Structure 1
Amino acid sequence: MIKPTPNPPIRLFTVADGISTEDLLVNLSETLASANALSCDLAFNLEGAKREELLGVAQLIELAQLLADRVQAGVQLATTAA
């Protein structure tokens, strides 16, 4: 019998337990900054539709960065208030 859906992929990477939310957010921000730099560098070596697509990805990464920054600011405020 053939399964209608495949098994989910095995996760190769995990996040260690016990890491603070603030440390996770800092790492997330650094990862997003790296992804943004990579996508922009690659986009500037392209032309036409492919360049526009990659710049669109860079814009989504920047949006995610803004969201992560907002969450991190809220965590810092909560930590300071406590």
Structure 2
Amino acid sequence: MFKHTPNPPESETVERPTDPVSPYAFLDSRKLHDAALRALDHYLAPPAKKPESPGIPSTIFTVLPEVNAETLLAHACETLASANIMATELAFTLSGPTCNQLLGIQQLISLAELSVNRVLDKVDPQS
């Protein structure tokens, strides 16, 4: 097999300049240590958590302040009744442990619905 590029001449050697002073000889080891820590933190540390703003509520779902307690309880009762029916119907399409888990969730929904109904019975309607 023929080599397309010639070998460099053996008589010529590459001379490197010799610098009596290394550029790293006078660096402060504390600065090097701090720089190494910053580099490690930048690449390996988890990102800092941004503090959540506690005063700004999400506006996706908002309950107006002027809505009275009876109306809120009535909506909660209707929502729980719907969730109860959906969980019951879905549980009967399943079998085994999944069905048992869903029936447990359905029972919790029923208990919450009973509690909301009891509170709703005790609320005086506002005129």
Provide TM-score, normalisation by structure 1: 0.79
Question: How has the CA–CA distance of structure 1 residues 46 and 6 changed in structure 2, closer, same or farther, with 3 Å as cutoff?
Answer: farther
Greater shift, 15-24 or 48-57, is seen at: 15-24
- Per the TM alignment, residue 14 of structure 1 is displaced from its structure 2 partner at its CA by 1.4
* Alignment correspondent of 2:70: 22
- Per the TM alignment, residue 6 of structure 1 is displaced from its structure 2 partner at its CA by 7.9
Larger radius of gyration: 2
Taking the aligned partners of 1:61 and 1:32, their CA distance within structure 2 comes to 6
* Alignment correspondent of 2:48: 2
1:62 pairs with 2:95: no
Taking the aligned partners of 1:28 and 1:35, their CA distance within structure 2 comes to 10
The size of the alignment, in residue pairs, is 76
Structure 2 gap ranges (5+): 1-46
- Per the TM alignment, residue 7 of structure 1 is displaced from its structure 2 partner at its CA by 4.8
Taking the aligned partners of 1:64 and 1:37, their CA distance within structure 2 comes to 14
Taking the aligned partners of 1:55 and 1:45, their CA distance within structure 2 comes to 11
* Alignment correspondent of 2:123: 75
Structure 1 gap ranges (5+): none
* Alignment correspondent of 1:35: 83
Residue identity matched to 1:32 = L
Provide TM-score, normalisation by structure 2: 0.53
Question: How well do the aligned residues superpose, as a CA RMSD in angstroms?
Answer: 2.4
Taking the aligned partners of 1:75 and 1:25, their CA distance within structure 2 comes to 9
Taking the aligned partners of 1:17 and 1:26, their CA distance within structure 2 comes to 16
Deviating above 4 A after TM superposition, structure 1's stretches of 4 or more consecutive aligned residues are: 5-8
